[in-house]
Amino acid sequence: MQNVRWWDAAAAGVALVLGGILALDPPYGPDDVGAWTSIAAMLVLYALLGRRLVRRQRTPLDLVHAALLAAVVGTGISFDPFMSFLQAFAYPLVWVAAAGLRTAIASNALIAVGVGAGYYVATGSGNLLLAVGVSVFSFIFSLVLGLWFVRVAELGEERARLLAELEAAQDELAAMHRDAGVTSERERLAREIHDTLAQSLTGLVLLAQRARREIGTTDASGTTDALGTTDASGSTDAAGTTPPAAETVALIEQTAREALGEARALVAANAPVRVESDLPDALTRLAERFTRETGVRVTADVDEVRLGRDLEVVLLRCAQEALANVRKHAHATSAVLRVVARDDAVELTVADDGVGVAGARESSGFGVSGMRERLALVGGRLALEPGDGGGTVLRATVPAPEREVSG
């Protein structure tokens, strides 16, 4: 759509200049009145039809408008050849108002015919060669200039399209850099937890086990109390209770084991799984790693699907979060990770044999709300429901309009 205000200004300017110049040459005769009438007719035609064509462009009235404008221009020139300056407004207007290149050329031809007819009448029908020459010259000049403007406009549109593609590519590259940074940070954290915290907790468990053995050995061989007497009854005292030190060491060992399990779960949940190959391979590796790191047996049953990179990342992150919840909250011993390709969607399900869906509320810190928000960004949805034989089933569905399914 063109900026119609510039065309309003051009129409008013041409009318004022031509009308004003004619008014400088009194006395006025019928030819002057006819020329002014032509100028007024041009303004009326522009206001009623030309302005609409400039704003909308796509309409079957463009040739009708060109024919009427050619008649107005030709009539004005027939009264006064000075009115040939109307071409300066008529030719650009029909170029802009035309629906296509062919229509624009045809509209220019109509204006040229009007100009030639006006000159032929203005010269008293005695100089056909002059009328034809002026008409042909004006048509060729307008055609060359118009085609040049069209080419400039096409180059401008092409530049705008390339610029939009470049900006989209830059946005995508920035998103990839952010994803790479997040993945790198997750990998670093998982490695740090594994190399520091998990190792320290493992050492603490071993020390607690060693302390329990030493306490048991000391009790079996006899211990000396504050009075110098020896208790040789073993690891239990006369009242049949476990010594306080043994209870404390047992508590330390239990706490360390639980913390070690949480650390391993964090490592399994945050260790990145690459999706450079495809989603089935990534999810299969995720299940194997999770089983190895946490001891929770995960079986993967994944269809061969092809999705966009963003959708693959969303499903992979949902699977990681769901398995982390299985390890931390479900108290499950096994889980099944399944991906099924349907007519217009791909569905990820994670089913476990744990405590069930009763405790899996979004406000409980289970990450369900985060998964739902992530899925909503790509037009997906999330459902949390009880399993047929107990446990919990999490379903994450994403649209797959361009997926490829095999097997």
Write the Ramachandran bin of 367: left for phi over 0, alpha for psi from -120 to 50, otherwise beta.
Answer: left
The H or E element containing residue 214 is: helix 198-221
Average pLDDT, the chain: 79
Q: At what angle do helices 244-270 and 128-192 cross, to 10 degrees?
A: 160
Read off the DSSP letter of residue 180: H
Domain chopping of the chain, boundaries:
4-126, 274-407
**Cβ proximity of 314 and 397 under 8 Å:** no
Q: What mean pLDDT is predicted for residues 393-404? A: 76
Helix (H, G, I), strand (E, B) or coil at 377: coil
Give, in words, the CATH class of 274-407.
alpha beta
Q: Over range 79-97, report the average pLDDT.
A: 89
Pairing of strands 392-399, 230-231: unpaired
Specify whether the CB–CB gap between 379 and 277 falls below 8 A. no
For residues 42-50, average pLDDT:
91
Q: In the chain, what is the straight-line distance between the N-terminal and C-terminal CA atoms, in Å?
A: 50
State the CB neighbour count (10 A cutoff) for residue 141. Answer: 14
Query: What Cα–Cα distance (Å) separates residue 401 from each residue in 160, 306, 338?
Result: 28, 10, 20
Q: To the nearest whole percent, how much of the chain has pLDDT over 90? A: 15
Q: Over 50: is that where the pLDDT of 50 sits?
A: yes
User: Binning pLDDT at 50, 70 and 90, where does residue 243 land?
Assistant: low
Q: How far, in Å, CA of 352 to CA of 360, rounded?
A: 12
The DSSP line for 132-162 is HHHHHHHHHHHHHHHHHHHHHHHHHHHHHHH
Rounded distance, CA 134 to CA 81, Å?
11
Query: What pLDDT is attached to residue 43?
Result: 92
Torsion sign over Cα 49, 50, 55, 61: positive
- In the numeric block, which tokens belong to residue 5? 């205000």
Helix (H) and strand (E) counts for the chain? Answer: 12, 9
- Reported as a single tens digit per residue, the pLDDT across 58-67 is 566 888 889 9
**Measured between alpha carbons, how far is 230 from 222 in angstroms, rounded to an integer?**
6
What pLDDT, in 10s, does the model give residues 100-156?
888 889 899 999 999 989 888 888 766 788 788 888 988 998 889 888 878 887 888
Range in 206-210, 245-249, 257-261, 355-359 with the lowest mean pLDDT: 355-359
Residue 234 has pLDDT above 70, yes or no: no
What are the tokens at 334? 């096994």
For the stretch 302-353, pLDDT in tens is 887 777 777 888 888 888 888 888 877 777 888 999 998 887 889 999 999 8
